[in-house]
Structure 1
Amino acid sequence: MTVFACTGCGAVLTVPVSRVAFPVQAHQQVGNGLLLGVLMEPGTYAVDPEPFGPPWLRWDEFGAVEAEAHGVYAPVFALSCGPRGAVVVAPGDVGGTVLIPGPAGGNCCGLDGQDGPNLACARCGRLVATRVDDCSLWQAVWLDPDAVHRVDGDASPQRTVGWDALRAERPGVEPVEPDGQWNPLWEAAVAVALARLLVLSTGARVTVPDGLVAETFRRTLDALLPPGPTARTLALAGPGLPAVTADIGLVPQHPQSGEDWAPSGSVDVVPLPWDVWAYLAFHHDRRPVPGAGAMPDDARRDDPPPPLPRRAFHPDVVVFLDTLARLPEVRQPWLREIYHRVSRGPYRFPF
């Protein structure tokens, strides 16, 4: 376990936490008024591999050459020039800090963190973190990597749950909220996977299996890729599933280590967060009316039944564009055309 302390005075600022994979939805922004929950599970932390926070530069101020040196390969509205390696934790895991209202940076319902650190060390006054809790953002505290340092406790290695045990411990997150809205985690996770799927498609059609995978992937893939013969096939692959024979496998990412599950054979992989992948893999569509005679194994009598979505699934377009802009393949003409088409009309079909 690890705690984080102020580099100025050494005051401990967090409870003991253990590292997990960086969440795909970390920088997601949803519609005004939709209250998102806490990003990180209690007792965990993750490290952002990308720059975080101000200063911000617009694309025309940055330039394509310098942007590529920072891992961005297509035009974006603005780029963060803040430090890499920001540590994100749950707000309830932070102590010994005080809120500084002046640079808090706010939106309609709370703090958005756009103005930089707004939490100071209560002992020495050093700015150490950014609290984010606006209604359109995931609630989190982002520790400034230049203002805090890690203090390792017990030297014993962190227990990593095996793939087989994960199925019992983490059965997955349902795609639809009780009010009929699609789960924002699903919208972000599918958006990231779609960007990587496009790269592996090489611009040709992809066959998508029926069921919830089709409901979340097929419509967008068919809309973005040009008509023509199918060149590649997609299937779920991972622990507990039969060996995959498709060209591309949707595989789970380990929630602790961030490791992608590796199938046997020459299969290209597209990772999904474990909680999304597990639901896709092991929760099959309900048969609404059991057949005559004995109840089939796949018939479920839930009371109340799981909620139905209010609308068709739409991947998060901002997360999709942000992911695609950071893939070097977006410089290929056919993929750059898709990027520009979606950028010009980000909320048109199928987003």
Structure 2
Amino acid sequence: MGDVFACAGCGAVLTASLSRVVLPVHAHHRYGHAMLPALMEPGTYAVDPEPFGPPWRPWSEIGAGEAEARGIFAPVHSLSFGAPGAIVVAPGDTHGTVLLPERCDGCCMGVDGRDGPNLACVRCGRPVATRIDDCSLWQAVRLAPESVRRLPAVPAEDPAGRTVGREAPADRTAGREAPVEEWRGTPPIEPPGRWSPRWEAAAGAALAHLLAVSAGTPVAVPGGLVTDMFGRVLETLLPPGPSRPPAKRAALAGPGLPAPDPAPDIVLVPRHPRTGRAWQSSGTAETVPLAADVWTHLAFYRERLLVPVSGGMPDGVFRDDPLPPYPHQLFRPDGEVFLHTLARLPAVRQPWLRGIYDRVVRHPYARPF
């Protein structure tokens, strides 16, 4: 069953039948200087709990008290005072709307929603949504919560991303075992050899949580891709010192994985792709949530080793054909997502962590970002 959204003014249906999922972590991510794909998978929608769109107020007009009441614990450039709760959908899942030319400003190649809702209902002309498709922005349509209403559930096709193969992991977020859809892993490397922007965004968000639970102590992470994601940045932001305690040990944990042995101090766990809740481990380790598609690849992907049935590999023959992709540069967590996430964690009020936040704000492109 899926949800359909209609114009609050005339009742005209504006979307296909959609299934609700969590807002992707890269929703607040900018990337490159080209047209990006859709933020949402076809057949899905998410609700953004934060305000969106104009009016915007600079930090100097807001103050720490008002910001903390909104869940912001460190200074930001500005905050939206638009309505919270926008319904975020893929552009291809909308219909019955028309662009408002006078509200179609953008920064470069498209529109970015700076002027407020730029899509109107075809039937009655009521502004109902904001189309975003400028360069460096993930394409999306944000339905204004005060201008649309959700109709009773109707049958819906399975949202994109459902896969078949291994047995589905269990959802333990509610303290009990419950079946869920299989989770799809996102590969870390994209052609022609660059790190996936979804991985960079996921790492930026997880890094904020990882620093918060570290209490300023160095953290040791597992080898391989986890080290690529976090090893260099943790060494830079949490350098060891003569008076520092021993490093805390982090490990992957979650549905389908054996319990780490020995027990780690910190566990990297998946955020449920539909509810957004972090998987709860049975131990006492601190929990760091990671986007489910990235966590799934880290937890279950194993590179195939293609070898002859007998004997060794012939001279001049590569192991794989084609060769697996490798990145052209070191991995860099996305600094914008890192700051966005860290500003919303109460732990950032601690002086040592606030110092890291302020340093990255002042030098957003310095090592390791």
Other-structure match for 2:174: none
Give 2:15's aligned amino acid.
Answer: T
Q: Structure 1 pair 316/291, CA: closer, same or farther in 2 (3 Å)?
A: farther
Structure 1 residue 306 corresponds to structure 2 residue 324: yes
Q: CA deviation at 1:167?
A: 10
Residue among 213, 219, 222 paired with 1:200: 213
**What is the alpha-carbon distance in structure 2 between the residues aligned to residue 324 and residue 129 of structure 1?**
29
**What is the alpha-carbon distance in structure 2 between the residues aligned to residue 247 and residue 285 of structure 1?**
28
Q: Structure 1 pair 249/290, CA: closer, same or farther in 2 (3 Å)?
A: farther
Structure 1 residue 185 corresponds to structure 2 residue 198: yes
Q: CA deviation at 1:286?
A: 6.5
Give 2:105's aligned amino acid.
Answer: G
**Aligned partner of residue 189 in structure 2, secondary structure:** coil
Residue among 158, 166, 169 paired with 1:163: 169
Identity %: 59
284-293 vs 145-154, which deviates more? Answer: 284-293
Q: Structure 1 pair 316/153, CA: closer, same or farther in 2 (3 Å)?
A: same
User: Normalized against structure 1, the TM-score is what?
Assistant: 0.92
Decide whether the 8 Å contact of 1:167 with 1:278 is kept in 2: no
Q: Structure 1 pair 293/132, CA: closer, same or farther in 2 (3 Å)?
A: same
For residues 139-178 of structure 1, the aligned pairs below 5 Å read 139-154=139-154, 162-163=168-169, 169-178=182-191
86-95 vs 146-155, which deviates more? Answer: 146-155
Q: CA deviation at 1:285?
A: 5.6
Q: Structure 1 pair 289/54, CA: closer, same or farther in 2 (3 Å)?
A: farther
C-alpha RMSD of matched pairs (Å): 2.6
Other-structure match for 1:72: 72
Residue among 327, 346, 357 paired with 1:328: 346
**What is the alpha-carbon distance in structure 2 between the residues aligned to residue 232 and residue 72 of structure 1?**
28
CA-to-partner distance for each residue in 1:302-343, whole Å, 9 max, x for gaps? 432232111100111011011111111111100110001111
Q: Structure 1 pair 280/291, CA: closer, same or farther in 2 (3 Å)?
A: farther
Decide whether the 8 Å contact of 2:111 with 2:134 is kept in 1: yes
**Aligned partner of residue 190 in structure 1, secondary structure:** helix
**Equivalences, count:** 345
Give 1:163's aligned amino acid.
Answer: P
64-73 vs 228-237, which deviates more? Answer: 228-237
Decide whether the 8 Å contact of 1:104 with 1:116 is kept in 2: no
Structure 1 residue 216 corresponds to structure 2 residue 229: yes
**What is the alpha-carbon distance in structure 1 between the residues aligned to residue 79 and residue 147 of structure 2?**
22
User: Normalized against structure 2, the TM-score is what?
Assistant: 0.87
**What is the alpha-carbon distance in structure 1 between the residues aligned to residue 114 and residue 204 of structure 2?**
24
**What is the alpha-carbon distance in structure 1 between the residues aligned to residue 10 and residue 191 of structure 2?**
46
Q: Structure 1 pair 273/290, CA: closer, same or farther in 2 (3 Å)?
A: farther
Q: Structure 1 pair 168/88, CA: closer, same or farther in 2 (3 Å)?
A: closer
**What is the alpha-carbon distance in structure 1 between the residues aligned to residue 258 and residue 330 of structure 2?**
29
Decide whether the 8 Å contact of 1:249 with 1:267 is kept in 2: yes
Decide whether the 8 Å contact of 1:9 with 1:123 is kept in 2: yes
**Aligned partner of residue 32 in structure 1, secondary structure:** coil
The unaligned stretches of length 5 or more in structure 1 are none
**Aligned partner of residue 150 in structure 1, secondary structure:** strand
